Structure formats: structure tokens, C-alpha cells
Amino acid sequence: MSRVAVVTGASGGIGAATVRRLVKDGFDIVGVARRTGRLEALADETGARVRPLDLTDQDAVLRFAAGLDACDVLVNNAGGAFGAESVAAADPDDWRRMYEVNVLGTLHVTQALLPLLRAGAGGTIVTITSTAASVNYEGGGGYSAAKHAEHALVETLRLELNGEPVRVVEVAPGMVRTEEFALNRLRGDAARAAAVYEGVDRPLTADDVAECVALVVGLPQHVNVDRLVVRPLAQAAQHRLHRGPLFRP
């Protein structure tokens, strides 16, 4: 029987790319997200099973988990950034929304699926965080706070599951260009969103991050990648970003 993988935030970006990539490795995928139309299109394309689900609704997550017979891999990808204002000017509702989606959503689905992940020969939990989970920057206070909390959740869970056959992996991407992340963060301002990536030689793509997920999932079960930080070559650190063509002798 095929191994079952649940991927959250599957309606676009890294989540959809991860569904496509894990299907190639023979997984029976269950993709969840809030946008039904996009999920249905992904199901038609990949053959994955899909379920509309709001991860901030704990009761709905529990009902979803009760309908599954197995889960070997959980990819916690759902999240997002909302707003780029300074701490002084930030809207607390944006911070609350980021915490609910990035942290509580991850908590809800992880709690609900842990019994199934523990029940098999070996489970794997991969959580997509961000380099913002370890480095702060101006205008990123709320997002960084949420990702720091998500990182703390992952690290604590790994300690608490020590001695059980469940791997706990964190993938922390740097600059990734997807169709929606910057646009959502900047409240639909397409020009400002495009400027984020302007001049950067090949930012990461959703497919690049999906390859990283496939890599850590595909390793032997006794091999755990605690934290994989992945950036484009043009980004040496959070604040060290080269804009312009990379030097090629």
C-alpha cells in the first residue's frame, strides 16, 4: 500500500508544489486548504485526494483526522504573512491572524494526526517555517514572531517525541518567489510585491522547496534532518542579498 501524506496549504505555492512532488514518489496524498476550487484543480491534475479545511478551526481539524485511516507523513505548510508595518504602526489583528494560521493551525493538525503518525512503522512531520524563525528584520515583527513560535513548537515536539519512531523536521526557506506570498503580505500591491524580488538572480521557487521536502522525507527512517535552511545563492543571509547577475568567470 502507498504511504499516506497530508499536506496543508495545498491550494497554491509551496503546498501545491509539494503535492506534485510527493505524488511522483508514490505517496497517496491528502491535500488540505481553504480554497475549494484550487484544490479541485490540483486533484484533477495530480490524482491527489483533497479536502477543504480551515486549520484554525480545531473541531474541523479533528473531524478531518477522524476520517483518515492512516498518515505516514505530515507536511505543515499552511501559513502566511500579513502586513509589513513597523512594530509601532502594526495592526494587532494582523499579528493575531499570523499567529492563528502559522502557529495554532500547525498545532491543531499536528495534535490531531499524531496518533496516526505514531501508529505506523515510522512517521515524519515536516514543518515549513522560514529564516524569519531565527533572524528578525524591519517590518517583519509579526511574521517573525509567529515563525519563531512555530520553530519553538517544532523543536519542543522533537524533544517530546524522542524515543518514538516519529521524525520531526523543520525546513526554513529564505527568499522564495511564489505567486501570492509577497502580494498577500503587501495587501495586493503588485508593484511593491514585484520590487521585493527585483534584480535577484533566481530566487527560490516553490518547486525548489518541494524538492527539499522530498529529500528529507525520502531519507532512511532513522535519519532525521533537524533543520534545513535553504536560500537562493544570491541570498547569503537574511540581510545579505545580491541584486544583479551572479558573477560567472
Give catalytic residues, as residue numbers: 143
State how far Cα 72 lies from the chain centre: 17
State how far Cα 125 lies from the chain centre: 11
